[in-house]
Structure 1
Amino acid sequence: MTIKPEEFTKSGLNFAVSFANTAFDGIERLAVLNLAASRSLFEAYASNLNALLGAKDIQSFVDLQKGIAAPSIEKGMEYSRNVIAIATDAKEKIAKEVEVHVADTNAKVSGMVEKALASAPAGSEVAVAAVKTAMKSANEAFDGLNKVAKQAAEVAEASVSAATQATIKATTAAAPKAAAKKAA
């Protein structure tokens, strides 16, 4: 198996193009999400302001605020979930592409090293073994780092999800208490 330098260059270029396409796709999805959220926020603001201006007394004003708060918080949480989903999707696509690229490059380099080591002079078995061990260690280190990165991403996603749920619960519980204090 003969590997030409052009193959490494082409492989790297293909990886860069794939990475750029994934990044641009994520950016485009975020832009669409942000435009939709901005439009929704403006429409809700105008509607809520009109409703609040139409309040006849303090109690109806407080009731309107309470009714407005929960949907606004839920929209904010939905926006956060969408941003996380877009980022997670991009991260997974890039991680998969990196894995494929590294495996391909590793196979090519291993083939070249094996070919070079096969033609090594007699008595260089120790050096050949050292090179093979170094390659194996590097591959294991990459696999370990990849697993740690995946675990860290899973922990971060779980933390964001837990924080989102806690915020929703806290806000839902705090809204009736705040309304009761204002009414008293």
Structure 2
Amino acid sequence: MSTLTPQQLVAAQQAGLETLFGLTNKAFEGFEKLVALNLQVGKATLAESQEILTKAVSSGNPGELFALQASLAQPTAEKVAAYGRQVHEIVSGVQSEISAAATAQTQQFQRDAQGFVESLQKNAPAGSESAIAAWSSVFSAANASYESANKAAKQFVTSVSTVQ
């Protein structure tokens, strides 16, 4: 009967680690983008606040101060909306990349598992048909469960994305 060799186990572990570090790097890239965006927004807000306060202090007329305050409401709302869109784009991009990598990894696992079962079927001794059938059944059930969970996760992500 065919069994996994130590080299195959090492290769599988190495592939898993590479995937883990790849996904971790993607997450950190997204975090870096969010930090850069927040720094940019913070600097712009500080500069705008300084300009507004300078105008407010130099204005001796309370009417001008109220007019200044009213004129800032619309641009502020637009900036908040633009910020929200940028955050959503960054998070969606990272989520998409991680989802694609996870899907590819799962598909590879499914192919490897199917190959393992086929190898068992080819090299199984006589009389082990029921054990091989049980292994096939377990892998089929696992694949069906994965597909169901994957569909549910995609529906959840879609519903969360549309709410935002």
Deviation string 1:75-121 (CA, Å, 9 cap, x unpaired) is 12211211111111111101111111111122112212221233233
- 1:26 equivalent among 5, 27, 30: 30
Counterpart for residue 10 of structure 1: 14
Aligned residues: 160
- 2:118 equivalent among 114, 117, 139: 114
Counterpart for residue 134 of structure 2: 130
- TM value normalised by structure 1: 0.77
Q: Does the 8 Å contact 1:22/1:90 carry over to 2? A: yes
1:43, distance to aligned residue in structure 2 (A): 0.8
Between the two structures, name the one with larger relative contact order (CA 8 Å, sep ≥ 6). 1
- TM value normalised by structure 2: 0.86
Deviation string 1:59-81 (CA, Å, 9 cap, x unpaired) is 33222111112212221221121
For structure 1, which segment, 81-90 or 57-66, has the greater mean C-alpha deviation from structure 2 after superposition?
Answer: 57-66
Q: Does the 8 Å contact 1:52/1:65 carry over to 2? A: no
1:41, distance to aligned residue in structure 2 (A): 0.8
1:151, distance to aligned residue in structure 2 (A): 1.8
Counterpart for residue 160 of structure 2: 156
The AA in structure 1 aligned to 2:52 is N
- RMSD of aligned C-alpha atoms? 2.1
Q: Does the 8 Å contact 2:33/2:90 carry over to 1? A: yes
Structure 2 gap ranges (5+): none
CA distance in 1: counterparts of 2:156 and 2:67, whole angstroms: 43
Counterpart for residue 150 of structure 2: 146
CA distance in 2: counterparts of 1:45 and 1:55, whole angstroms: 15
Q: Percent same amino acid among aligned pairs? A: 26
CA distance in 2: counterparts of 1:143 and 1:67, whole angstroms: 53
Structure 1 gap ranges (5+): 161-184
Counterpart for residue 40 of structure 2: 36
Q: Does the 8 Å contact 1:22/1:93 carry over to 2? A: yes
